[in-house]
Structure 1
Amino acid sequence: MSKATGSRKSAIAAAVAEYDSGKFLSDLDRRIGFRTESQESHQAPQLHAYLNEEMVPTLKRLGFTTKVVANPAGVDAPFLLATRHEGDDLPTVVTYGHGDAVRGYDNQWDEGLEPWKIVVRGDRWYGRGIADNKGQHSVNFTALGAVIGARGGKLGYNVKVIFETGEEIDSPGLNQVCAAEKEYLKGDLFLASDGPRVSAERPTVFLGSRGELNFDLEVNLRDGGHHSGNWGGVLRNPAVTLAHAIGTLIDRDGKILVEGLLPPPIQSTVREALSDIELATDANAPAIDPTWGQPGLSSAERVLAWNAVEVLAFKAGNPDAVANAVPPTARAHCQLRFVVGTDWQNAQKHLEEHLALHGYADLVKVIVKSGVAASRLDLEDPWVDWALKSISQSTGKKPALIPNLGGTVPNAIFAQTLGLPTVWIPHSYPACSQHAPNEHFLGSVARESLALMAGLWWDLGEDAGRIVSEKQ
């Protein structure tokens, strides 16, 4: 433990003062101004500029040494690695952020809003990438700086940073960089922020994410379409065939019917953690369909502890210019979101065997694409209880604990390639319009997050050594 010149209370006050003075908003507005659209290859110079002109100076002011690493995956989306080293015998915390955002869709924002400059309307701060992820990593580094100051420049632990600029294009090269830099990134805890809270009002901790596997189903019956009047009734329709085939995978209420794509039974610790979690409580959230999905589960369990098969796109013929012809082909783009313990690596086999059992072996082609593994820290890991208590002390609220995010972040890389216990503290909320026009951050959540992150960074100086020793 380091000798502090201030106190936990003064560290939190210093972090909140960054918000109240307007400095946090000013810094964040400057960062939003970098048009870091990783989906647009011509914006690569903006990705480099965000690292070299914004994040490198920020981290150096906090006492980090930095290095920019080229992306080994053949895309121009560089990485920034940094370390703040206080002692070889001290515990080490690894944190993460990403500087890229999805496309701005500039012309689709409401009148008076624009993606590359923050516009404040009440509690909402509008800007592209502000929720995902510039606002979130800005909170974390601002709070870290407040704690460094309150502790007289000595945290009592080391900090390492992994910063990427390709998260919105599925993090190419991230696993290779982490594997190549495994010794450089060696640590005792992974602590970072992305994704939404369960609601704007409730601080949240999540410990991993569901995995993601995309697959196509195709029915190719003949070359070219044929007149629906002359041939309709004697030619098999690929759209109808594919629709019925999908109906064998998922029933009319969204229940998965493929045995091999089901998860293991929900653990009692997971069920207990989700017992007080409510989804869709924010005003702009969509209404939940109470009978959709696995029967007998709560809505939270269906999203956070179970699997889902979704049809994301379906095409046969040309819906925008319909011809009077039986189409020759039909295709559906499908997705499996899955939790830890699912046999997702054998999804091709499970799908093909299931379709063959229902008479579609020679009709439906299954094309499984690369996937992202599911991961989740054990809910009984001591870092979990530590994080919950710290947040509760800082906010006076009972934080929500969710075993894994319903969506997918590259957590498996940090958990498996780097072997780190992973704790995520999100600073956004479900109705933030992430990836859509009018993306926004909530000022009230940003202010609270600065306080709770300052508390977490402070408490690491008090508790990290003890927890690391207990785990050894």
Structure 2
Amino acid sequence: MTDSQQTPVPPTDAPTEGPAATVTSAADEQAVRAAVEAGIPSAVADLSQLVRIPSVSWSAFDPENVRRSADAVAALLTETGVFDRVEVKQAPIGDSGTLGQPAVLATRAARNGRPTVLLYAHHDVQPEGDEANWDTPPFEPTVRGDRLYGRGAADDKAGVMTHVASVRALKETFGDDLEVGLAVFIEGEEEFGSRSFSSFLAENQDALRADAIVVADSDNVDVDTPALTVSLRGNVTFRLTVSTLEHASHSGMYGGAAPDAMLAMVKLLATLHDEKGAVAVEGMTSYTDAAEPPAFSEEQLAEDAAFLDGVTSIGTGPVLSRMWSQPTITVTGIDAPSVANASNTLLPSVAVRISSRVAPGQPAREAYEALERHLRAHAPFGAHIAIDDVDLGDPFLVDTAGWAATEAKRAMTDAWGAEAVETGIGGSIPFIADLVSDFPEAQILVTGVEDPDTRAHSPNESLHLGVFKRAILTEALLLARLNGRSGS
């Protein structure tokens, strides 16, 4: 679900300079490495058990599976013996009174002035789609080669187990001498829009307050190169309905004079892009302050995105700039008669789902208002326009100058044996804007266990087991070093 911007980051072997330097002994770090190595078989086994629970959070699916998944995650965190409290909790969705899906909250207070770190992941998953498109059953974890296949194996139950396994390694290394503060928030509805997220933050703000927040829901450059995500596009989604007639009419009798809704919809959608496929909506902006992205060839794009022979790319500018720093508009669904059920009829109404990515730096609300103005101004033949089911998520930019980002990149470089790179993301993680709003002093680190072959949300989703191990070691080293950090 993500794309990566690669900006080399020099390795840092010395402790962070400043009034709150991080100090850990070589023996402790070696012990952390040994604990992570020894714990990998258990981590993979526990991850496999989580994958077997079809915790799809969408409203059309059985919510009991999400509850089972939350209970399983809570049990794993409790068994670490690290936390003062582990709870399965729900929060209301806005003012509706309806509760969101179960989330897990575990807390441990910091000691002796050590910093507190909030670890985030989500235990819900996307629907499996057509099982015929899977090579193995989607909820039966299967190892083939160096990858574990299954829905949620990467997105994001591997993120959950990265937190669990790194905490286990800390406990093994430090025992009762563990002093870093920890809060673990494992959400249960990220794949369904995080609809109760803001309420959950409001209700649990004291428990979630932290000096640094690790969001384990992103990807890496490849299976050998770690990444810290520093920018995310926002999102605007809504249903657009175009209507031209009070009822359907015979196309042979009235076609050529009466405007059907499908014709009006097609003409309207065509105005959203220019002849090169770039967004042509006035008021939707690009992120102009972005650094020049690294080279990424058209050939590589065609291979990674699985172009058919002869298909060319769309948009203008460097390929990676188009995917990270520019807005997009995509029609992701359409309500209309199927080809098999088509009749010779002028359609009175047609509805589509619009999904737009918003460039970093532009508020999602501003982008939505620009889209709405454009659609209403360009409706052909006097067609009636209706917009509903609107969902907005703001983009995100990281300040990489803070101590937490420095420590995270150093841990990545040490764990992977390769320099960490900073990455931009074409996708969206809208709830991060809520974290920024509620915890403005916290430094947010977006990490992850995915790679270009993960296929999150798609059939045959998988986790590279080498990436999984290195992600756990990265987080364990980071937390171990913060355990020796003087001050928060």
TM-score norm. by structure 2 comes to 0.84
Q: 1:356 to 1:132 in 2, by over 3 A?
A: closer
Answering whether residue 79 of structure 2 is matched by residue 55 of structure 1, we say no
Inter-partner Cα distance in structure 2 for 1:417 and 1:444: 35
Aligned AA (2:68)? A
Does structure 2 retain, via aligned residues, the 8 Å contact 1:206–1:423? yes
Aligned AA (2:464)? L
Inter-partner Cα distance in structure 2 for 1:57 and 1:278: 44
Does structure 1 retain, via aligned residues, the 8 Å contact 2:286–2:359? yes
2:52 corresponding residue in structure 1: 33
Aligned AA (2:413)? S
RMSD of the alignment, in Å?
A: 2.9
Deviation at 1:157, TM superposition (A): 1.6
Does structure 1 retain, via aligned residues, the 8 Å contact 2:100–2:196? no
Does structure 2 retain, via aligned residues, the 8 Å contact 1:198–1:279? no
Aligned residues: 457
Show CA shifts across 1:130-150 (max 9, x none).
111111221232122213322
Q: 1:280 to 1:214 in 2, by over 3 A?
A: farther
> Structure 1 residues 244-253 or 165-174, which shifts more?
244-253
Q: 1:281 to 1:455 in 2, by over 3 A?
A: farther
Deviation at 1:389, TM superposition (A): 2.2
Inter-partner Cα distance in structure 1 for 2:338 and 2:128: 28
Deviation at 1:96, TM superposition (A): 1.0
Show CA shifts across 1:20-66 (max 9, x none).
xx222222222222232222666333323333344234344241121
Inter-partner Cα distance in structure 2 for 1:125 and 1:101: 16
Deviation at 1:392, TM superposition (A): 1.2
Q: Map of 1:45-124 to 2, 5 A cutoff?
A: 45-64=64-83, 65-73=85-93, 74-75=98-99, 77-87=101-111, 89-105=113-129, 107-108=131-132, 110=134, 113-124=136-147
2:435 corresponding residue in structure 1: 414
Inter-partner Cα distance in structure 2 for 1:138 and 1:205: 19
Identity %, equivalent residues: 21
Q: 1:453 to 1:405 in 2, by over 3 A?
A: farther
Deviation at 1:364, TM superposition (A): 4.7
Aligned AA (2:43)? F
> Structure 1 residues 368-377 or 181-190, which shifts more?
368-377
Aligned AA (1:397)? A
Inter-partner Cα distance in structure 2 for 1:106 and 1:226: 35
TM-score norm. by structure 1 comes to 0.87
Aligned AA (1:299)? V
Aligned AA (2:111)? G
* 1:151 counterpart SS class: helix
Deviation at 1:188, TM superposition (A): 0.6
* 1:67 counterpart SS class: strand
1:271 corresponding residue in structure 2: 291
1:299 corresponding residue in structure 2: 319
Runs (5+) with no aligned partner, structure 2:
1-21
Runs (5+) with no aligned partner, structure 1:
none
* 1:190 counterpart SS class: strand
Deviation at 1:187, TM superposition (A): 1.0
Deviation at 1:194, TM superposition (A): 1.0
Deviation at 1:348, TM superposition (A): 5.2
Q: 1:360 to 1:306 in 2, by over 3 A?
A: same
Q: 1:446 to 1:243 in 2, by over 3 A?
A: same
2:274 corresponding residue in structure 1: 251
Deviation at 1:101, TM superposition (A): 1.6
Q: Map of 1:355-374 to 2, 5 A cutoff?
A: 355=375, 357-358=377-378, 360=380, 362-367=382-387, 369-374=390-395
Show CA shifts across 1:149-177 (max 9, x none).
22344344201111221222112211101
Inter-partner Cα distance in structure 2 for 1:264 and 1:2: 38
Deviation at 1:282, TM superposition (A): 10
2:413 corresponding residue in structure 1: 392
Inter-partner Cα distance in structure 1 for 2:419 and 2:120: 25
> Structure 1 residues 300-309 or 201-210, which shifts more?
201-210
* 2:143 counterpart SS class: strand
1:190 to 213, 218, 224: 213
1:329 to 332, 345, 349: 349
Does structure 2 retain, via aligned residues, the 8 Å contact 1:225–1:325? yes
Deviation at 1:198, TM superposition (A): 3.0
Q: Map of 1:147-166 to 2, 5 A cutoff?
A: 147-166=170-189
1:438 corresponding residue in structure 2: 460
